[in-house]
Amino acid sequence: MGAVNVWSELTGMLGDPLMQRALVAALLVGLAAPVIGTYLVQRRLSLLGDGIGHVALTGVALGWLVGSFAGLAPDALAIPGAVVAAVAGAVVIELVRERGRTSGDVALALLFYGGIAGGVLLISQAGGTSANLMGYLFGSISTVTWADLWLTVALTAVVLVVGVGLRTALFAVSQDEEFARAAGLPVRALNLAIAVVAALTVTVAMRVVGLLLVSALMIVPVAAAQQVTASFRRTMTVAMTVGAVVCVGGLAITYWNDVSPGATIVVLAIAVYAAFALARPAMRRLRGAVEREDPHPAVDDDVQLALGGGR
Amino acid sequence: MSVAVRATGVHVTLGGAPIVHHVDLSVDEGEVVALLGANGSGKSTLVRALVGVVPVDRGSVELLGTPLGRSVAWDRIGYVPQRVSAATGVPATAAEVVASGTLHARRLRPPRDTGRRVTQALEQVGLGALAHRPVGQLSGGQQQRVLIARALVRRPDLLVLDEPVAGVDVPSQRAFADALTTLAAGGTTVLVVLHELGALAPLVRRAVVLRHGSVVHDGAPPSPAAGHAGPEHDHVHPHDTADDDAAALTPRVGWEL
């Protein structure tokens, strides 16, 4: 393929209004998902996004059911239903976690199975089939409308304002809840903010990668980033960059090859993870050659050595 | 002189068990008070109740003249929880952990001069050079010092520390004692939970001893019980609340009055 061909192919892709909307949606989701993912990884709740995603499926079916009763187009209320169910599910998980009665592990398992079963059950009540749920499970970015795009812009703005604007406060409460409480910080409000923003992120990303892979977009870029970073802030920035690049890149690939956008994006993210994992020892060696650091902390010996020169 | 901490008839119940009962404690501004007691005597639970981490069942707590709650001047209070590790899932530098200490009830975003204050706080505990290291790479004692810097960064008038030197290496203990001496000389009120006085002995004029959840001694620091004395006897007891609860069933008396 010559340079002229590549150029015309690219302008062809960027000139397609359908593709334009899809690319903008993918870029926004790629930026927003790792923001909240960073907090989830920090609190060791990597699977929370998955739990919320499953609950959102019940919300989709519920919206579908209400829509059919109200005589609307069957999927008109699917996304609002998903938003409501995801937020409600996230708040419940947070309250259960706070009480500490049920282990987080069991609570997540209940959500996974309850969410899927509820979705399938309700969609059949609404006169639909499980096939109607497939678009939500695996994403349907090629059908993004202007209304969808504006909703995505608004939700992304909320996620970024809360997730980046309150970074130090959310870091404090995720890092050491006891200290945050003793500093008088509104711990419950901040925890709920993380849960609600995670729920909004899930519903935003649902369109791009589908509910089954939403969590991957939140977690994998963070997992990749933290292999090459030392600070929380840098981890978040690198994860956002990785998220944006794999979302836009993955979507662009599907313009020329007929493959699932959601799956392509997630596979790309995992490839970045693998590349960073391979690059890590090399980067360490590069840094070591400059600093020649002793990995042991500089601490005096605790014991008296009979013969001098223990170190 | 006004009172920094005033606890009246405090009861704390955790999981149905009365951990702390009938505790009256008042600490004047500028005082350095050690809270002593055997494992499971309730001293950790008491300070956690004083700073609002666990709920007070009965009785009242006033911090810097205000009843416990949102209206307390939290920006003037620094708390150092008992901790074995400061590392979490995502890497964070020592400076970032310390910066989170600038927040309190009325401040959800760090102030403008955070960078300078973080550097100062880390220098106070002798970790200025390690500000940009991930806390996961620091030794246990250095991590504990990071947590102390996190309490110091807001320049507190009242410092509450829970076993700050348990399981901490000797240089970190020394750095900690130096920092605390400077702060106390500058008028900071210090309430510190200790297993034994150790390096802080010269600083502590008053000790409160807890046994079975209530105060059994309040006055000059007592001498340690036989078998717990001498510099060669080095206690290293990093433990969490679960251990405390278990130890409460078989109380040991570590202090002779």
Q: Give the pLDDT confidence score for residue B246 in this predicted structure.
A: 41
Please say whether the structural domain A3-288 has been given the CATH code 3.90.1150.10: no
Q: If you search the block for the tokens 């910080």, which residue do you land on?
A: A185
Domains of chain B in sequence order: 3-249 (3.40.50.300)
**CB pairs < 8 Å spanning A and B:** 116
- Each residue's pLDDT tens digit, B24-65: 999 999 999 999 988 888 999 999 999 999 999 999 999 999
Least CB–CB distance from A232: residue in B81, B90, B102:
B90
Q: What percent of chain B has pLDDT over 90?
A: 50
Provide mean pLDDT across the span B250-255: 41
Whether pLDDT at B143 is above 80: yes
The residue with greater pLDDT, B162 or B255, is B162
B255: closest CA of chain A, how far (Å): 26
Q: Give me the DSSP letters along B37-101.
A: --TTSSHHHHHHHHTTSS---EEEEEETTEESSTTS-GGGEEEE---S----SS--BHHHHHHGG
Rounded to 5, what percent of chain A is helix, strand, coil? 80, 0, 20
B216: closest CA of chain A, how far (Å): 27
A157: closest CA of chain B, how far (Å): 19
CA distances from A85 to A82, A88, A213, A262 (A): 5, 5, 18, 22
Say if the Cβ atoms of B91 and A232 lie within 8 Å: yes
Residue from A101, A173, A175 whose CB has the most chain B CBs within 10 Å, to mutate: A175
Q: Give the pLDDT confidence score for residue A141 in this predicted structure.
A: 79
Packing angle of the helix pair A261-291, A232-256 (nearest 10 deg): 140
Q: Which residues in A lie closer than 8 A to residue B138 (C-beta atoms)?
A: 297
Q: Give the pLDDT confidence score for residue B257 in this predicted structure.
A: 41
Looking from the CA of A273 toward its CB, the CA atoms found within 13 Å total 15
Q: Chain A within 8 Å of B104 (Cβ-Cβ)?
A: yes
Q: Give the pLDDT confidence score for residue A296 in this predicted structure.
A: 60
Residue from B100, B160, B168 whose CB has the most chain A CBs within 10 Å, to mutate: B100
**What sign has the CA pseudo-torsion B46, B50, B55, B57?**
positive
3-state helix/strand/coil string of B93-106: EHHHHHHHHHCECC
Least CB–CB distance from B96: residue in A184, A185, A233:
A233
Q: If you search the block for the tokens 């601490």, which residue do you land on?
A: A299
Q: Which residues of chain A have pLDDT under 50?
A: 289-290, 292, 308-311
Task: Give the residue from chain B lying closest to A223, CA to CA.
Answer: B90
Task: Give the residue from chain B lying closest to A224, CA to CA.
Answer: B90
The residue with greater pLDDT, B23 or A108, is B23
Whether pLDDT at B243 is above 60: no
Whether pLDDT at B78 is above 80: yes
Q: Where are the beta strands (DSSP E) in B183-242?
A: 189-193, 206-211, 214-219
Do A91 and A196 touch, CB atoms closer than 8 A? yes
Say if the Cβ atoms of A38 and B90 lie within 8 Å: yes
- Which of residues 159 through 198 in chain B touch A, CB cutoff 8 A? 160, 169-172
Whether pLDDT at B255 is above 50: no
A185: closest CA of chain B, how far (Å): 5
Q: Which residues pair with B35 in a beta bridge?
A: B193, B208
Provide mean pLDDT across the span B60-78: 91
Query: Which amino acid is it at B114?
Result: T
Task: Band the pLDDT of B105: cuts 50, 70, 90.
Answer: confident
Task: Band the pLDDT of B256: cuts 50, 70, 90.
Answer: very low
| ipTM of the complex model | 0.83
Task: Give the residue from chain A lying closest to B111, CA to CA.
Answer: A168
Do B20 and B48 touch, CB atoms closer than 8 A? no
Least CB–CB distance from A226: residue in B83, B91, B95:
B91
Q: Give the pLDDT confidence score for residue B224 in this predicted structure.
A: 65
Say if the Cβ atoms of A168 and B141 lie within 8 Å: no
Say if the Cβ atoms of A230 and B133 lie within 8 Å: yes
Q: Chain A within 8 Å of B155 (Cβ-Cβ)?
A: no
Task: Give the residue from chain A lying closest to B88, CA to CA.
Answer: A42
Q: Chain A within 8 Å of B221 (Cβ-Cβ)?
A: no
Q: Chain A within 8 Å of B81 (Cβ-Cβ)?
A: yes
Say if the Cβ atoms of B171 and A299 lie within 8 Å: yes
- Name the token pair of A48: 């929370």
Do B232 and B201 touch, CB atoms closer than 8 A? no
Q: Chain A within 8 Å of B150 (Cβ-Cβ)?
A: yes
Q: Give the pLDDT confidence score for residue A266 in this predicted structure.
A: 93
By C-alpha distance, which of B189, B216, B172 is closest to B3? B189
Alpha helices in B161-249 (DSSP H): 170-185, 241-249
Residue from A38, A178, A234 whose CB has the most chain B CBs within 10 Å, to mutate: A178
Q: Give the pLDDT confidence score for residue B242 in this predicted structure.
A: 42
Q: Chain A within 8 Å of B109 (Cβ-Cβ)?
A: yes
- Each residue's pLDDT tens digit, B184-239: 999 999 999 988 787 888 888 899 999 999 999 998 888 766 555 555 555 554 44
